[in-house]
Structure formats: structure tokens, C-alpha cells
Structure 1
Amino acid sequence: MIPPPLPRRLTQVRTVTAIGSLLWGLGAAALLFAALAGWRPLDIWFTTCLAGMLLGGFGFGVYSWQRASARRGSRAAQRGLD
């Protein structure tokens, strides 16, 4: 038996990664501002925000690469990305 497809809003990878990366970037900007104002040092929270933003971008790149491969018809590409 084949499970039903996911709702469209849960398969919008571009939207999810863009919003997630934007939120991580806003967090990093707020922490950088706080550090420049002398309110707190740059610590693990800032590093975590940068890592979240960069990993979101990397994940989006891998997804785009897989999607392009599937559209080309590559045998090694994942299926069901559209």
C-alpha cells in the first residue's frame, strides 16, 4: 500500500530553507549588534546562528543539485522531488 502524498505546504523546500536561513541570519545579526554594543560577547550562540544559516544554504544547494539531476533523468538521482 502506498502512503498518501504530503501536503504541498510541507514540500516547499525553497520556502522552508529560505525562511529558516533568514531567521538564523537575523539571530546572528542581533547577536553581532549586541556584541558591538558591548552587551554580550560573541560566543557559541553567534557561532550556532552562523552554522544554521550556512547549513541551510548548503542543504538548499544539495536539494537543487538533486532536483536538477532528476529533471535531467540521471539514473542516480532521487525520485519524487517535484
Structure 2
Amino acid sequence: MPSLVRILTHPESRRPGPPPLNVDLRKVVLAGLAAWALALIVAVILVVADVQEWPAIAVCVSGLALGGLGLLWARKQR
């Protein structure tokens, strides 16, 4: 078994890494969007009940917007 120093100084002596998995990124992004949508619903309920303040809603909306961009990116990568 090669030492850590040898592996770091000669990376070609390592065994090759496994091939990347084929993952449907659309499903992953949609799961994240669903989580942000649920968080948005909870945040709105908490703001209406005067338990939380408006920045929580802004964070959830930002998460949904970034997830939408991620969905567009995943669509282009297909």
C-alpha cells in the first residue's frame, strides 16, 4: 500500500476513481424546490402569527429563485 506522501507527490500511482453516477438533476432540484416551498409556507404562517419577521420570507423566496435557476441549468445539461 503506497504511503500518503507518495500518493500526494505521484497522483498517477493512485488507482483510478470510480466513474461518475448518472443522476437526474431535475429530481434533485425539484426536491430542493419543494423544501423551499414548504419553508415558505411555514415562514408565512409564522409571520402572520407575529412569531417571525419578514426576512424569513425573503430567504425562502431567494431559495425558490435559485432553485428555479438550478432547474434551468439542469435542463440545459440533459
Q: Give the structure-1-normalised TM-score.
A: 0.63
Deviation at 1:38, TM superposition (A): 2.0
CA contact (8 A) 2:26 2:75 kept: no
Aligned to 1:57: 68
Identical-pair percentage: 25
Runs of 4+ in 1 over 4 A off after TM superposition: none
- Kindly indicate whether residue 2 of structure 2 is the aligned counterpart of residue 22 of structure 1: no
Aligned to 1:74: none
Aligned to 2:49: 37
Deviation at 1:7, TM superposition (A): 2.9
Which segments of 5 or more consecutive residues in structure 2 lack a partner in the other structure? 1-11
The CA RMSD over aligned residues, in Å, is 2.0
Deviation at 1:26, TM superposition (A): 0.8
3-state secondary structure, aligned to 2:31: helix
Higher RCO, 1 vs 2 (CA within 8 Å, ≥6 residues apart): 2
